[in-house]
Amino acid sequence: MNKRRHYSLTLRLALIFALLAFALLATLGVALYRELERELIMRDDAALIYRIDQLRNLLNDSNTLDLIKTKPELFQNMLSNRESVLSIAAPGQKPLLTVNPGNIDLPSVPPVPKHHELTFADVHHFPSINGVPFATVAASIDSGDLGSLQVTTGRLMTERTAVLASYRLSVYILASIAAIILAVVGYLLVHRGLLPLRRLARHAQGIGVGNLAERLDSHGAPKELLPMIDSFNTMLERLAKGFVQLGQVSTDMAHELRTPINNLLGETQVALQQHRSIESYQQLLASNVEELERLARMLDNMLFLARTDPASALRQRQELSAADEVERIAEYFEGLAGDVDISIQAEGEGVIWAEPMLLRRALANLCANAIKYGAPGTELQIRAVPSAEGIHLRVGNRGETIAAEHLPRLFERFYRVDESRERSAQSNGLGLSIVATIMQLHNGRYSVSSEAGVTCFELFFPKRED
């Protein structure tokens, strides 16, 4: 299986900085290049227009016409370079004067009328003459004796092309240099800026099972890392609670399972030491079955306490009818209560915001406990009382009054008021502990009171938050 490559965040950001710098500088350079190109074109066009205006003035003088015939080199000197072209001719006749030191193929363009004032729009541009941009303008003039003449002048933009090419190269070079510099500086800055993250990573690496109580220090950390630090510390807190819960379950299991296992082992070893009657073996097996049932219930309850996931329980909460729930639990325990001559009265109203299975298990544990310790001929009351903050569920029975010193510890694991019931197959000391866990998962409250032979367990489920 191919390993997925991991790229450096620092390198990525440095390259992004470099690309952005190159793009921005190149864009700025192109904009300036376009502006420079426009200005150079206007300058060259203005020079051509000025040249035509000069020739118009000169050729209106008859002496100048003589000069065309006798000294044409004067006009050639006016152009002063091999890139310029000048042609003076009568329409349909051989040119009176042609100055074309570069042997440029002069394109045909329509002349501007005699009395028309030349503008930039009258200049014609050709993208390539001999591989170089070319600009030309033609105008008709009145020369007196020679009549109407057409003057055409043009110029190859070799110099302008070279200037623009040099400018483009400078833009790309400067943009590249700036991008490289920014990439290096960005790499160093990002590398330094990620120092807090590397410190947090080293700190997190040092946290293990033995020091789950330790938390990441947010002092001096950048604001952007604070949510991550808080989330990581919250996760550590959940892990610490989970390990404590798991350790407690392991300790409880080792402690509580020892007694029934020793009982099973001792009774079985004694029975094997001598021959016994069938009735004796049946009694032994019945006793062992009772212990095994108690072990099974204990393991089931312990696994419930260890596996319960708070996040899952909160996600699965529903709005449940209090009247339906108390009626359901009353019907379920009606037969068991009738066997010990206890009647059940259930009433309630309102809505319970809870996970259905956990709610029913909590009520079932309270009802089973009330029936187990209730006095025969009494009544078990199950009530649901709504309030502004949520709803109160009360399960009360009549029986022996529980001493005040025992009340705070009733919801602890394996705590029993009557130690003589420790080996009862129906009691494993985890029922009320499960109720406490369920209420903690719902962010609720639980309490118990016992006065004058009346014991009442109360559960409070907060209402749904909008």
Provide the residue ranges of all domains of the chain, joining segments of one domain with +.
Answer: 9-166, 223-293+300-304, 314-462
Helices 195-205 and 158-193: crossing angle, nearest 10°?
30
Helix (H) or strand (E) holding 277: none
Q: Is the pLDDT of residue 380 over 90?
A: yes
Cα 438 from Cα 160, distance rounded (Å): 86
Please list, residue by residue across 87-96, b when 16 or more beta carbons sit within 10 angstroms of its beta carbon and e when fewer do. Answer: bbeeeeeeeb
Residue 127 binned pLDDT confidence (cut-offs 50, 70, 90) = confident
Fold match between domain 9-166 and domain 314-462 = no
Reported as a single tens digit per residue, the pLDDT across 204-230 is 787 777 777 778 777 777 777 788 888
Q: Is the pLDDT of residue 47 over 90?
A: no
Q: Which amino acid is at 275?
A: H
Number of H helices, E strands in the chain: 11, 12
Find tokens 């367990």 and name the residue.
457
Task: For domain 314-462, say whether CATH 3.30.565.10 is its number.
Answer: yes
Answer whether 130's CB lies under 8 Å from 158's CB.
Answer: no
| Of 35-44, 83-92, 157-166, the least confident | 83-92
Strand arrangement of the beta sheet that strand 148-156 belongs to: 97-99, 84-89, 148-156, 132-142, 124-129
Total-model pTM: 0.47
Measured distance between the N- and C-terminal CA atoms of the chain, rounded to whole angstroms: 49
Answer whether 65's CB lies under 8 Å from 145's CB.
Answer: yes
CB-based contacts of 300: which residues, under 8 Å, 6+ apart?
A: none
Q: What is the CATH T-level fold of the domain 9-166, as seen in this structure?
A: Beta-Lactamase (3.30.450)
Answer whether 296's CB lies under 8 Å from 316's CB.
Answer: no
Helix (H) or strand (E) holding 34: helix 9-59
Reported as a single tens digit per residue, the pLDDT across 316-342 is 888 999 999 999 999 988 888 888 999
Q: Which residues pair with 386 in a beta bridge?
A: 391
